[in-house]
A = this chain, B = another copy of it.
Amino acid sequence: MSPDSAQFSLPHVVILGAGFGGMNAAFKLRHAQCRVTIIDRSNHHLFQPLLYQVATAGLSPGEIAAPIRHILRGKNIEVLMAEVQGVDTEKKRVLLEANRTVEYDYLIVATGSRHSYFGHNEWEEFAPGLKSIADATKIRKQLLCAYEEAELETDANRRTELLTVVIIGAGPTGVEMAGSIAELAKKGLHREFQNFNPERTRVILIEAGSRVLAPFPESLSESAAKELQTLGVEIRVNSRVQSVTNNEVSLDGEHIRAATIIWAAGVQASRAAKWLNVDTNDKAGRVPVDKFLNIAGHPEIFVIGDTALALDKDGKPLPGVAPVAIQQGKYVGKRITGMLQGKAQDKAFHYFDKGLLAAIGRTYAVAHVGKLKISGWPAWLVWVFVHIAYLIGFRNRVLVLTEWAWAYTTYQRGVRLIVEQKE
């Protein structure tokens, strides 16, 4: 759609999705001999590892998200905000709403994942998940409104219900949310309520597996669980959710009443398999890709990040984490650059595992890097360093650091806004 018609002779690379994968691919392609178009349903790139902090009123949306076209300004990359409807792999074009189409020579599909309710989509209404800024502000609103209602409430049982938060799923997101909410209740709301003590908040973390932070080594799971308990979080492992209704979670033989229920239990790939007409046996709906991240029979189509089912050298699927998406994005960007130059491209994608990190509250983290297992505040320093380093294209990093230092030490909660007024 570029008005510069001279450019039309150049090959066109279309990127679907401006998450970590798509953005890194775009960066690598900015000097290549091609036109680049990146399409996303929202106007911003999101630093997803910190999204739980928006949901728990620790950071405001503007601190972890920035307009895609602002990050890519002046890079000669076309940015379109549009919802993808499908892909015509024969005619090589992407279908958008209103019968708009975008033709491509190379296609990079990096449309991520959504939460999955394992066939119980009716639970979503009562237990929202966390993938977008809109999800995060919805959870934040629910959490904050429960406290507001509790201040008005005179019935003791209902107040207990209002002060109970259930988080389903104890992977990194669930653990980080639980820690953050427990700290908000213990410290962030200090002296703000007259009719109850916010420290009475119950945070219950439910996990179907046998331990929290399953992808981590067992010793770190134990450290994390201990720290969560210190913050007052109740952990229920080996607990399978039977049903979720309005303000109630049912486990085997137990019903927990809670005004805030948050889903952090599972994810499902975007609908890319359907768009590309690819058969997938994967439970999470990911698209199988070869060692070059192509789908079968289409060397011009790449699938990366959470949407892709890529295998490591042992034949195990790569995890749906940011470093995988980042490295795959860079790889594909470089690969297409080479293809455009007519160079032989036989280098397969190789994932370099940088390790795993999870923060629990404001001073504690667990880190698993190579053979190193660390926990406590040294791991937390690593966590801070890594997160700052990867805040690509966002606001001035020094400024962000200052703001965070301020927010962390003072618990200033300018971010604790309930935007929509009560109906």
Which positions in A face B, CB cutoff 8 Å? 1-3, 41-44, 60-63, 65-67, 69-70, 73-74, 76-83, 96, 100, 132-134, 137, 144-145, 148, 151-152, 154, 190-195, 394-396, 399, 402-403, 406, 410, 412-422
Contacts and interface: CB of A to CB of B under 8 A. Distances in A.
A125 B320 CA distance: 42
Contacts of A421: 41-42, 132, 134
B154 A420 contact: no
Given A190-B73, A406-B399, A152 B67 contact: no
Given A81-B148, A81-B151, A66 B191 contact: no
A419 B144 CA distance: 19
B417 A134 contact: no
Given A73-B192, A78-B194, A414 B402 contact: no
A395 B3 CA distance: 45
B414 A66 contact: yes
A403 B41 CA distance: 29
A80 to B, nearest CB: 6
Contacts of A65: 414, 417
Contacts of A195: 1-3, 78
Given A60-B62, A66-B414, A418-B42, A191 B403 contact: no
A45 B151 CA distance: 18
Nearest to A82: B152
Contacts of A66: 413-414, 416
A137 B66 CA distance: 16
A146 to B, nearest CB: 11
Nearest to A394: B414
Closest 6 CB pairs of A and B: A81-B148, A60-B62, A62-B414, A74-B191, A69-B192, A78-B194
Given A2-B194, A80-B148, A134-B420, 17 more contacts: A1-B151, A1-B154, A2-B195, A43-B417, A60-B61, A62-B415, A70-B416, A76-B194, A79-B192, A80-B151, A81-B152, A82-B422, A134-B419, A134-B421, A137-B419, A395-B406, A396-B412
Nearest to A1: B195
B60 A416 contact: no
A395 B82 CA distance: 36
Max chain B C-beta neighbours (<10 A), residue from A74, A192, A406: A192
A154 B417 CA distance: 39
A190 to B, nearest CB: 7
Contacts of A3: 194-195
B416 A67 contact: yes
A2 to B, nearest CB: 5
B81 A422 contact: yes
A122 to B, nearest CB: 20
Contact of A399 (B70, B79, B148, B402): B402
Contacts of A132: 421
A371 B37 CA distance: 57
Contacts of A191: 73-74
Contacts of A41: 421-422
Contacts of A137: 419
A413 B67 contact: yes
A47 to B, nearest CB: 11
Nearest to A420: B134
A413 B134 contact: no
A113 to B, nearest CB: 15
A158 to B, nearest CB: 11
Contacts of A61: 60, 417, 419
Contacts of A133: 417, 419
A152 B100 contact: yes
A151 B60 contact: no
A406 B396 contact: yes
Given A43-B144, A74-B191, A152 B417 contact: no
Nearest to A144: B43
A65 B195 CA distance: 24
